[in-house]
Chains A and B, each alone.
Chain A
Amino acid sequence: MALLQISEPGKSKNPHDKKYFVGIDLGTTNSLISLVQNGSPTILKDQNGYELIPSVVNYTKDDISVGVPIESNKSITFRSVKRLIGKNYKDFIDNKFFSPCEFISDDSIIKFNVYNKLLTPIEISSEILKFLKKVAELRLAGEISGCVITVPAYFDDAQRQATKDAAKLSGLNVLRLLNEPTAAALAYGLEKKNNSKIMVYDLGGGTFDVSILDLKDGIFKVLSTGGDSSLGGDDFDHLLAEFIENKLNLDIDKNKRHEIYLYAKELKALLSFEDSVKVNLINIGIKSESLVVTQNDFNLLINNLLQKTLKISNDVLVDSNLSIKDIDEIVLVGGSTKTPYVKKVIEDYFNKKPLSNINPDNVVAIGAAIQADILSGNSQEELLLLEVTPLSLGIETMGELVEVIIPRNSTIPVTSSKEYTTFKDGQSAMRIHVVQGERDVVSDCRSLAKFTLNDIPPMIAGAARIKVEFQINADGILNVSAIETMTNKFTSIEVKPSYGISDKDIENMLKDSFDNADKDIEKRNLKEAIVEAERVILAIDSALDLDGNNLLNKNEYKAICIARDDLKEKIHSNNKDIITEAIKNLEKRSEEFVSRRMNSSINSIMKGKEIKEYN
């Protein structure tokens, strides 16, 4: 039973602003935007007719463009910026990221100096999302009211949060972050199979990601995930470029090296369907007639990397207590799986022909569109995705050790609480350091955030009981709250995301991105408030229709109606604050009703068949 299925896109009051729910594959190398139209998923093309939009952002002194790289000294071009999202300086160094400009690093988020403006990877990513949004709005001649964005299954909290922040900056409303492998399985309609185990092997441009999914009774469950965030087709290109350099005995500068790298990319594509290719570097000004690269050369080059992916795949299988023979389907994702040798290695190792009839470049975006369609309520399909957290969540304890609070592969959403006490008389604050990872020592894990619990009521040492609750929501994002249980007083928490940006930063960035800052922001806020108000009214109305008479007495029913009608009136006030106030009021008035509905659902599930069984 669905409680409040309220979205009715066909019923918009104004037929001209049709609302769309799209799927977005925000990839390291390429990005795509897609949606389900008349029941079938389609990738939307940009104005030049391309589906794959390179995740490339160019900045010139007074313009930003996305997609085609500008190779000129009058621009700064970012590629593969997804590698840096939600990451810190150390990751940046480890990541072989080619920085096109100067950058600043303190111990938190990295900032690039782009024509004297400091930009974070979040802002750069948001340009790609803005572009995709524009592509869709142009194609559909309508408004994008919600989206599903895919992320690698092992993205940690910081990376997920950063992705959501980028979406916020681009003006997109994120319905859900969806794990890429789950999206791929959705694209193949594998949810219709019952009781099967699926391996999703995703070798993209910059990341390798493998997941085991379990399908049972129409419910998707991610059993385990693994991968390597710094392994992908880009590495193939680097190896191939290195191979060419060595064979030709070249001694070249950084720029030339980059050009050879770009050439290697093309060469790789050619080697997918030709046995051998004559290397031609004339355009770069290098003599290379003597050099021929064969498919076999290339296969040998990438073999080590592929073996590494197989080892990771096997570890992930072991993690779910499975072996190769238990796998029913293998789904191939990512442009790099188009390489014939990759397919062959997988088929040989797992002794099974992998699914690859949907273009592996598109498969994730297609799945995202399907999920967006289901979440929006447009789709008739009853589908539920249950996902797990990819990394253990822990806190720092004595001696810089990690105490696990939420173990990895726990089904989300998940909550866990931990009780702390004070060790000094009258102590009013304490610090908590949250990390994510599988290692025992703090410095080997990723630092997520440092929290300060303030306003602890003064008591003698050891008397305060502070219950800190860690909650990972359905997007895999962490929230923390704390309460002193002796006095039932909430302690405030100061969140310092280790490598992210704060809400205030986002607000400022949004302001910066508007020319007429104040006016435009006001307009946007007002519009958002109106949309929110309409959504809430719709939700309440449909709830009243279904259960109003059963669960409310006349007066209660009336009180909710009054609050609703009040909101309906206030929508026309053109004042964001007044509307927001009226929304809050309506929500407040209907809280009891909502609780009763939830309870009645819980009761009906709990009773279920027992009525028959016991009566």
Chain B
Amino acid sequence: MAIDFNQDYFQLFKINCSVEIDTEKLEKKYLDFQKTFHPDKFVNSTDFEKRLSLQITSYINEAYETLKDEYLKSLYLLKIKGYEINDQNSTISDPDFLMRQMELREELEDLKKLKNKIQKDKFKEKIISLKESCLYDFKIFFASEAFEDASKKIKEMKFYISIENDIKKDG
């Protein structure tokens, strides 16, 4: 089969492979793809076409979700540059950051017991701003091709995202 599922997501949407992307163009191309290939357009077609449509739209969805999300996009950019972050290497050995992680976790546990919405919102804001600053640093490191440092920032960001999810789950 000739459709190339190995090209990278940036090539697929014909947008520049960088930390800042043209989101308007991404949206537009995504919708164009969907309007053409969505399985709804193939309910009366041959099985082979149905299968292809399913494959293509799954691939397009995955590509779109990855590029749309800052964290996933950052992971993907690092992967393209040969710095893949996976379950095995995602922990951070920096003792300062480990300390910080523990403190934040404890703070969250205390807040959960207190059930004070204002304090919790404040904590959430703090986490979000920490996350944003990771992303900011990542972009600078990545642009200057300091991929090791960029990876570290993304691993930190991963931690803040998991804390943020915990806050959300707590309601």
Residue B62 interfacial (CB < 8 Å): yes
Within 8 A of B (CB), among A392-435: 410-416
Identity of the chain A residue whose Cβ is nearest the Cβ of B57 in the assembled complex: A413
Stretch at the interface among A98-106, A456-464, A597-605: A597-605
Q: Is the CB of A3 within 8 A of B42?
A: yes
Instruction: Judge if A539 is at the interface, Cβ distance under 8 Å.
Output: yes
Whole-angstrom distance between the alpha carbons of A527 and B3 in the complex?
Answer: 35
Among the 9-residue stretches B47-55, B94-102, B111-119, the one with 4 or more Cβ atoms under 8 Å from chain A is: B47-55
Q: Are the C-beta atoms of B45 and A539 separated by less than 8 Å?
A: yes
- Identify which of residues 130-173 in chain A touch chain B, using a CB-to-CB cut-off of 8 Å: 146
A6-B44, A386-B38 known; 12 new pairs, CB 8 Å cut-off, are A6-B45, A219-B31, A413-B58, A415-B58, A471-B58, A540-B46, A595-B52, A598-B37, A598-B52, A598-B53, A606-B29, A608-B14
Are A594 and B62 closer than 8 Å at their CB atoms? no
Residues on A with C-beta less than 8 A from B54 are: 413, 471, 473-474
| B:55-98 near A, CB below 8 Å | 55-59, 61-62, 64-65
Q: Which residues of B line the A interface, CB within 8 A?
A: 1-3, 12-14, 29, 31-49, 52-59, 61-62, 64-65, 168, 171
Cβ contact of B14, chosen from A382, A590, A606, cutoff 8 A: A606
Query: Could you tell me the distance in whole angstroms from the C-beta of A334 to the nearest C-beta in chain B?
Result: 26
Q: Is the CB of B46 within 8 A of A610?
A: no
| A591 and B39 form a contact (CB under 8 A) | no
Q: Please state if B61 and A411 are interface contacts (CB–CB under 8 Å).
A: yes
Closest 9 CB pairs of A and B: A415-B58, A474-B39, A413-B58, A4-B45, A175-B43, A605-B32, A411-B61, A7-B44, A375-B43
Task: Tell me if A415 and B42 are in contact (CB < 8 A).
Answer: no
The one of A318, A385, A414 in contact with B62, judged by C-beta atoms closer than 8 angstroms, is A414
Residue contact B65 to A410, C-beta cutoff 8 Å: yes
The answer to whether A595 and B1 touch across the interface, beta carbons within 8 angstroms, is yes
Question: Are A605's CB and B29's CB within 8 A?
Answer: yes
* Least CB separation from A469: chain B residue: B58
Query: B34 contacts which of A375, A384, A471, A539 (Cβ < 8 Å)?
Result: A384
- Tell me the A79-100 residues at the B interface (CB within 8 Å): none
With A3-B42, A377-B44 as contacts: A602 and B49 at CB distance below 8 Å: no
Q: Least Cβ distance of B2 to chain A in Å?
A: 5
Q: B40 to A474, Cβ gap below 8 A? A: yes
Cα–Cα distance between A385 and B46 once the two chains are bound (Å): 21
Q: Is A228 an interface residue (CB 8 A)?
A: no
Pairwise interchain contact A386-B34, C-beta atoms closer than 8 A = yes
Please state if B12 and A539 are interface contacts (CB–CB under 8 Å): no
Taking CB atoms, residues of chain B closer than 8 Å to A595 are 1-3, 52
Chain A hits for B56, CB < 8 A: 598, 602
Instruction: Please determine whether A535 and B44 come into contact, CB atoms closer than 8 angstroms.
Output: yes
Q: Interface size (A, Cβ < 8 Å)? A: 52
Tell me if A315 is interfacial: C-beta within 8 Å of chain B.
yes
A587→B46 contact, CB < 8 A: yes
Q: Determine how close the nearest CB of chain B comes to the CB of A371; give it in whole angstroms.
A: 9
Measured CB to CB, the closest approach of chain A to B15, in angstroms, equals 10
**List of B residues within 8 angstroms of A385 by Cβ:** 40
Is A384 in contact with B49, judged by CB distance below 8 angstroms?
Answer: no
Asked whether A596 is an interface residue with its Cβ less than 8 Å from the other chain, the reply is yes
Q: Decide: B43 and A176 in contact? CB cutoff 8 A.
A: yes
The reply to whether the CB of A252 lies closer than 8 angstroms to some CB of chain B is no
Q: Is the interface of B mostly helix, strand, loop or mixed?
A: helix
- Residue numbers in B under 8 Å from A598 (CB-CB): 3, 37, 49, 52-53, 56
- With both beta carbons as reference points, the residue of chain B lying nearest to A21 in the complex is identified as B43
Whether B3 lies near A3 (C-beta < 8 A) is: no
CA distance A538 to B54 in the complex (A): 21
- Is A2 part of the binding interface, using a Cβ–Cβ cutoff of 8 Å? yes
Contact of A536 with B by CB under 8 A:
yes
Give the complex CA separation of A128 and B34 in angstroms. Answer: 35
Q: How far is the CA of A377 from the CA of B1 in the complex (A)?
A: 28
A414 partner, pick from B12, B41, B48, B61, beta carbons under 8 A = B61
Chain A residues lying within 8 Å of B34, measured Cβ to Cβ, are: 219, 384, 386
Taken residue by residue from 522 to 558, chain A's Cβ proximity to chain B (1 for < 8 Å, 0 otherwise) reads as: 0000000000000110111000000000000000000
Separation of A536 and B55 alpha carbons in the complex (Å): 20
30 contacts between A and B (CB under 8 A): A3-B36, A3-B49, A4-B44, A5-B44, A6-B44, A176-B40, A217-B31, A219-B35, A375-B40, A376-B43, A382-B35, A384-B40, A411-B61, A413-B58, A414-B61, A415-B55, A415-B59, A416-B62, A474-B38, A536-B46, A538-B44, A587-B47, A595-B1, A598-B53, A599-B2, A601-B36, A602-B3, A602-B56, A605-B32, A608-B14
Q: Are B39 and A3 in contact (CB under 8 A)?
A: no
Bound CA–CA A429/B49 (angstroms): 32
Chain B hits for A605, CB < 8 A: 29, 32-33, 36
| Contact partners of A1 in chain B: CB under 8 A | 35-36
Q: Which of A175, A474, A596, A610 has the most CB of B within 10 A?
A: A474
A5, A412, A473, A606 — which one has the most chain B CB atoms within 10 A of its CB? Answer: A606
A384 to B31, CA, bound (A): 9
State in angstroms the CA–CA spacing of A318 and B46 once bound together: 41
Q: Within 8 Å CB of A2, what residues of B? A: 36, 41
Contacts of A474 in B (CB 8 A): 38-40, 54, 57
A594 to B2, CA, bound (A): 11
**Do the beta carbons of A594 and B52 come within 8 Å of each other?**
yes
Contact of B49 among A4, A146, A415, A599 (CB under 8 A): A4
For B2, B44, B53, the residue with the greatest tally of chain A CB atoms inside 10 Å of its CB is B44
For the complex, what is the distance from the CA of A602 to the CA of B40, rounded to whole Å?
A: 17
Contact mask for chain A residues 290-334; partner B; CB cutoff 8 A; 1 contact, 0 none: 000000000000000000000000010010000000000000000
Contact A415 B62 (CB under 8 A): yes
Q: Which residue of A lies closest to B7 (CB)?
A: A606
The distance from the CB of B44 to the nearest CB of chain A, in whole angstroms, is 5
Complex contact B33–A3 (CB within 8 A): no
Give Cα distance in the complex from A163 to B118, angstroms. 45
CB of B55, distance to nearest CB on chain A (Å)? 8
**Distance, CA A474 to CA B33, complexed state (A):** 15
Whether B2 contacts A596 by the Cβ 8 Å rule is yes
Point out the residues of chain B lying under 8 angstroms from A315, CB to CB.
Answer: 171
CA distance A321 to B47 in the complex (A): 39
Q: CA–CA, A385 to B34, complex, Å?
A: 9
Report A-chain residues with C-beta under 8 Å of the C-beta of B52: 594-595, 598
- Residue from B1, B12, B168, B171 in contact with A606 in the complex, judged by beta carbons closer than 8 Å: B12
**Which of B13, B37, B46, B168 has its CB near the most chain A CB atoms (within 10 A)?**
B46
| Inter-chain contacts of B33 with A (CB < 8 A) | 602, 605
Q: How far does the alpha carbon of A411 sit from the alpha carbon of B41 in the complex, in Å?
A: 16
CA distance A85 to B22 in the complex (A): 45
- Inside 8 A of B168's CB, which chain A residues have their CB? 318
Query: Of all chain A residues, which has the CB nearest B58?
Result: A415
Q: Give bound CA distance, A411 to B64, whole Å.
A: 10
Q: Which A residues are in CB contact (< 8 Å) with B45? A: 3-4, 6, 539
